């Protein structure tokens, strides 16, 4: 690469970084780009926390072929670093705002811990990617959707801020009426994003509204009057005559977060249950294919299953 090409590359990369919203995806992207630029096979990112450096991300293809870079790269690298620094600050601010929204939901429902939402976000992205590659979705769309879905999936239960503590923290089984109230966290959560104009808002709305729908049409909230009203505002002219969402009527990101959320619940300890063992979990997911879950999404889940297991170690419940 000559100097002209490098300047062009750095400009393109800097513009690209400003489009990314999610912090982890941004850090991955920065590292991949800077390695491309410097022709380096490995790299690490450290984030400054107070006066310490915290190891954050690392990529390593092989340990060979590390080529020393020429002197004239240095100003370009400094320029890139200052752009990347700004992009990181912006992504951290967005992430912090979302984490505060999540903490509000967590204050209401102690099951919705930071670790749980991080895992559901990370699982969803991997399952989406496995699905999208098989479906032949263009690389650019995959990257874009990964970014949006990660944060949207983290907010799947944000509607619980509107549900009474008396119900969410009830130590006994819920009555039918109480369960009806719980169901409203889906469309109440979706309502938080309904006036938004951004791609992120529409993905977050899709996830919040649909993550309890089931492939066979037995999930919720379906389309009752209140939801129809909201739905008509959001998607004018679309058919809402049916009362349950079924199969591919359930939007894709809802179908993906549904399996990520259930998988995490099965793996986790709850007041009323122990974590299931791996054999039982795999069986349950397989059994639910075509009933609770979209069979294509279940297939994608198993294609990335090893990565999902690694993610659960990255975000343990008690740190």
Decide if 127 contacts 259 (C-beta within 8 A): yes
Of 38 and 152, nearer to Fe ion (C-beta) is 152
Binds Fe ion (CB under 5 A): choice among 147, 157, 213, 294: 157
Of 213 and 261, nearer to Fe ion (C-beta) is 261
126 binds Fe ion (CB under 5 A): no
Of 129 and 261, nearer to Fe ion (C-beta) is 261
Task: Give the nearest distance from C-beta 101 to Fe ion in angstroms.
Answer: 14
Task: Give the nearest distance from C-beta 172 to Fe ion in angstroms.
Answer: 20
Decide if 311 contacts 119 (C-beta within 8 A): yes
Binds Fe ion (CB under 5 A): choice among 24, 106, 261, 294: 261
Task: Give the nearest distance from C-beta 190 to Fe ion in angstroms.
Answer: 11
Of 31 and 258, nearer to Fe ion (C-beta) is 258
The residue range among 26-34, 37-45, 143-151, 260-268 that interacts with Fe ion, by the rule CB under 5 A, is: 260-268
What φ, ψ does residue 18 adopt, rounded to 5°? -70, -10
Single out the catalytic residue among 6, 21, 160, 183.
160
Decide if 133 contacts 162 (C-beta within 8 A): no
Name 307's Cβ contacts closer than 8 Å, sequence gap at least 6: 126
β-bridge partners, 60: 42
Name 153's Cβ contacts closer than 8 Å, sequence gap at least 6: 117, 120, 121, 123, 124, 125, 207, 253, 256, 257, 260
Task: Give the nearest distance from C-beta 112 to Fe ion in angstroms.
Answer: 6
Decide if 123 contacts 99 (C-beta within 8 A): no
Determine whether 21 is an active site residue.
Answer: no
Task: Give the nearest distance from C-beta 117 to Fe ion in angstroms.
Answer: 7
Of 6 and 119, nearer to Fe ion (C-beta) is 119
Decide if 73 contacts 35 (C-beta within 8 A): no
Binding site for Fe ion (CB under 5 A): 157, 261
Provide the annotated active-site residues: 160
């Amino acid at each position: 690469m000559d100097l002209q090409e490098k300047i062009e590359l750095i400009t393109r990369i800097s513009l690209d970084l400003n489009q990314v919203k999610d912090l982890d995806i941004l850090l991955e992207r920065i590292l991949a780009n800077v390695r491309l630029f410097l022709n380096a096979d490995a790299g690490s990112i450290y984030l400054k926390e107070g006066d310490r450096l915290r190891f954050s991300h690392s990529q390593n293809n092989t340990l060979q072929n590390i080529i020393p870079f020429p002197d004239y790269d240095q100003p370009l690298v400094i320029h890139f670093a200052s752009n990347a620094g700004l992009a990181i600050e912006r992504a951290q601010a967005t992430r912090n705002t979302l984490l505060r929204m999540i903490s509000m939901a967590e204050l209401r429902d102690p099951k919705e811990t930071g670790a749980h939402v991080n895992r559901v976000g990370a699982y969803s992205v991997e399952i989406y990617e496995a699905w999208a590659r098989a479906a032949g979705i263009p690389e650019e769309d995959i990257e874009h959707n990964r970014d949006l879905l990660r944060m949207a999936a983290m907010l799947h239960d944000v509607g619980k801020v509107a549900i009474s503590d008396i119900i969410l923290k009830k130590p006994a089984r819920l009555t039918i009426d109480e369960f009806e109230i719980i169901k409203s966290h889906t469309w109440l959560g979706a309502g938080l994003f309904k006036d938004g104009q951004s791609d992120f808002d529409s993905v977050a709305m899709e996830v919040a509204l649909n993550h309890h729908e089931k492939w066979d049409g037995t999930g919720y909230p379906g389309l009752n009057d209140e939801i129809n009203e909201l739905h008509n505002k959001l998607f004018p002219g679309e058919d809402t005559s049916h009362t349950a969402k079924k199969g591919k009527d359930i939007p894709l990101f809802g179908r993906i977060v549904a399996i990520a959320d259930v998988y995490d619940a099965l793996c986790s300890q709850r007041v009323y249950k122990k974590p299931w063992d791996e054999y039982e979990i795999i069986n349950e997911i397989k059994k639910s294919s075509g009933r609770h879950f979209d069979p294509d999404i279940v297939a994608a889940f198993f294609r990335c299953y090893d990565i999902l297991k690694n993610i659960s170690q990255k975000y343990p419940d008690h740190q």
